[in-house]
Amino acid sequence: MNEDEKKLTTELKAAFAAQYGDEEGVRLFFAPGRVNLIGEHTDYNGGHVFPCALSIGTYAAARKRDDRKIRLFSMNGKSDSFEEFDLDDLEPAGKSGWTMYPLGVVWTFGLRGMLPETGFEMAIYGNIPNGSGLSSSASLEVLTGFVLKNLYGFDVDGVELAKIGQYSENNYNGMKCGIMDQFASAMGKKDHAIFLDTADLTYEYAPVKLDGMKLVIANSRVKHQLTDSGYNDRRRTCEEALEDLKKVTGISALGELTPEKYEELKGAIRDDDHRRKAKHAVYENDRTIRAIKALKAGDIEGFGKLMNESHVSLRDDYDVSCPEVDVLAETAWTIPGVMGARITGGGFGGCTVAIVRDESIERYIEVLGRTYKEKTGLEAEFYTVTPGDGPAEL
Ligand code: ADP
Ligand code: MG
């Protein structure tokens, strides 16, 4: 543990003791958030993604109880952040709020024959912004799964933890996300990004060797309404476009099409909006495959260009950017030393990720922060990050 982590976990244990009486037998866990370098909105279309876990995420202090109560507390929440539940009453109906993320994971374990034999109590703290596209939700789901695995000795590996997290978010929270976020959190590896084919979950770790450069995240700190419904809406549009295409070709996912094949067949898609959304899914998948080739060849410039193209496609074809995030990306492109910049995460607000030369980072943050303030009246937030490991007991 580094100094920051020591301080943070000491505070977390103190909060645990204040909430639950004492800290006897408490165990500490962590699961990371993630940033997606390229391959956005491709994961529910059977395409490729290229995310990495971050060294920021969510921490838990947890221990078993003797009864059947589940007690949950978040240090990030307000006064209503403590809630108590019963292991025998986990159905989602009537539940709301942040506790749905951990509870949904317990519920999903139960569906898979792994209902804990006793209750537990847990206090959490996240040092990752919520609702900004860095997947605090997936980090909380993977964290909960990892806590259950370790407290009760369940035999679940990282891929299974990711699947449980996604199932839970889809079916308990009603958010129809793909597998990327949970996979990146559960399977993270220091200094590597994960090139994942979401069609069959085959994956490969690729070293992110950015000699003399770093990943810099800029948080717009806006979260537009309809984030979840907009996301679910995009997913439905892609499914409908796929249905149209299935009438003329034997595919089971948009990710199976090359751009050439898409151009040949696109006339089968019923309307222009559906066509633009499907186009993004197909071209973004192709960009992701080309991006990893560029990275492997040490061609960061080429990788950066593909990041920029990804942003344009998400802005113009997939319609998931917003004016504030466009200011962040488009301004970034004009700053010297920036190899590439794009919106990252589901969209409708949130963050951009950029690759910036070390010597340009200070100026990047200064110029981007100032321009963003001038154009939107808002303060951006910046994080210089490196790819981190998956979940761990501390
Ligand atoms: P993202 O995953 O991009 O951060 P989401 O909207 O998917 O955004 O998830 C954010 C939600 O996850 C929060 O509104 C909250 O309900 C829950 N959450 C995440 N981390 C915490 C935390 N540390 N404490 C309480 N709730 C959290
Ligand atoms: Mg999320």
Instruction: Say if ligand 1 is within 6 A of residue 36 CB.
Output: no
Active-site residue identified among 4, 157, 181, 244: 181
Beta strands 69-74 and 120-126, pairing class: parallel
End-to-end CA distance of the chain: give it in Å, rounded: 7
Query: Does ligand 1 come within 6 angstroms of the Cβ of 127?
Result: no
pLDDT, tens only, 126-136: 999 888 999 99
Q: Distances in Å between the alpha carbon of 357 and those of 75, 298, 354?
A: 36, 14, 10
pLDDT, residue 34, reads 97
Q: Which atom of ligand 1 is nearest to the CA of 345?
A: 3
> Which residue owns the Cα nearest ligand 1 atom 23?
126
Percent of the chain with pLDDT over 90: 92
Q: Is 96 helix (H, G, I), strand (E, B) or coil?
A: coil
Give the number of other CB atoms < 10 A from CB of residue 65: 15
Please give the number of the atom of ligand 1 that sits closest to the Cα of 100. Answer: 16
Give the pLDDT mean for 38-54: 96
Ligand 2 centre distance from Cα of residue 239 (Å): 21
pLDDT of 11 > 90? The answer is yes
Q: Which ligand is nearest to the CA of 58?
A: 1
Is 89:69 a contact under the CB 8 Å cutoff? no
Spell out where the chain has E strands. 27-38, 48-64, 69-74, 82-86, 120-126, 192-197, 202-207, 213-223, 338-344, 349-357, 381-385, 392-393
> Does residue 181 carry a catalytic annotation?
yes
Residue ranges and CATH numbers for the domains of the chain are 3-207 (3.30.230.10)
Average pLDDT over residues 14-18: 96
The mean of the pLDDT values for the chain is 95
Amino acid at 50: F
130 CA from centroid of ligand 1 (Å)? 5
d(CA 64, CA 379): 42
Q: Which burial class, exposed, middle or buried, applies to 57 when counting CB atoms under 10 A from its CB (0-12, 13-18, 19+)?
A: buried
Q: Which amino acid residue places its CA nearest to atom 6 of ligand 1?
A: 131
Residues 241 and 46: beta-carbon distance below 8 Å: no
Q: What is the pLDDT of residues 192-228, one digit of tens each?
A: 999 999 999 999 999 998 889 999 999 999 987 666 7
- For ligand 2, the distance from its centroid to the CA atom of residue 211, given in whole angstroms, is 30
DSSP secondary structure string for all residues of 199-212:
TTTEEEEEE---TT
Taking only the tens place, the pLDDT of each residue in 57-85 is 999 999 999 999 999 999 998 766 899 99
135 CA → ligand 2 middle, Å: 4
Number of H helices, E strands in the chain: 11, 12
- Nearest ligand 1 atom to the CA of 181 is 2
Q: Which ligand is nearest to the CA of 139?
A: 1
Instruction: Give the C-alpha distances (Å, rounded to integers) separating 5 from 30, 72, 252.
Output: 10, 21, 45
**In which band, very low, low, confident or very high, does the pLDDT at 1 lie, cut at 50, 70 and 90?**
confident
Task: State if residue 344 touches ligand 1 by the CB under 6 angstroms criterion.
Answer: no
pLDDT in tens, 152-177: 999 999 999 999 999 999 999 999 99
Cβ of 126 below 6 Å from ligand 1: yes
Distance 222 CA to ligand 1 centre (A): 14
